[in-house]
Amino acid sequence: MEQSFKRSVDELQAIVAATGRFFARSGTDESIRMAVDLAVEELFVNMVTYNRGTDHDILLDMQTSPGGVKVSLTDYGVEPFDPSLAPEVDIDAPLDQREPNGLGLYLVSKMVDSVHYEYRNRQSKVTFVKTVGRADD
């Protein structure tokens, strides 16, 4: 399934509906859907929030993979931002000593099995894999 969404957090409801249709049509195990939806939401919101120099839609691509799903979000006309290079979040630090931002990417990395980043020709693509029984189901 491939579908483009406008660069707006108002699209989140439509994105969740699209993932629901994908899970229903593909027969993908629903036990991983919450983690997939949360990861997609976090990555999409980051693209909308931080990649401001473009008005291109963001492409969501979902495919079945052995035991789960492979999901990619592609943003067009943007500068590189590799989420795997984001500073490590110290989740044990007291709240008043924590730096803002970064917790969402940390949670994504803990909820999915793998995250891969590609950047080419001003296209930023984040792909993650989530399988049943892996990471934080």
- Render pLDDT for 78-111 as a digit per residue (tens, 0 to 9): 998 877 776 676 556 565 665 655 567 778 888 9
The CATH fold of domain 2-131? Heat Shock Protein 90 (3.30.565)
Name the burial class of residue 17, with classes exposed (0-12), middle (13-18) and buried (19+) by CB atoms within 10 angstroms of its CB.
exposed
Q: Is the pLDDT of residue 136 over 60?
A: no
DSSP secondary structure string for all residues of the chain = -EEEE-SSGGGHHHHHHHHHHHHHHHT--GGGHHHHHHHHHHHHHHHHHH--S----EEEEEEEETTEEEEEEEEES-----GGGSPPP-TTS-GGGPPSS-HHHHHHHHHSSEEEEEEETTEEEEEEEEETTSS--
Boundaries of every domain in the chain:
2-131
How confident is the model at residue 102, as a pLDDT? 56
* pTM for the whole structure: 0.87
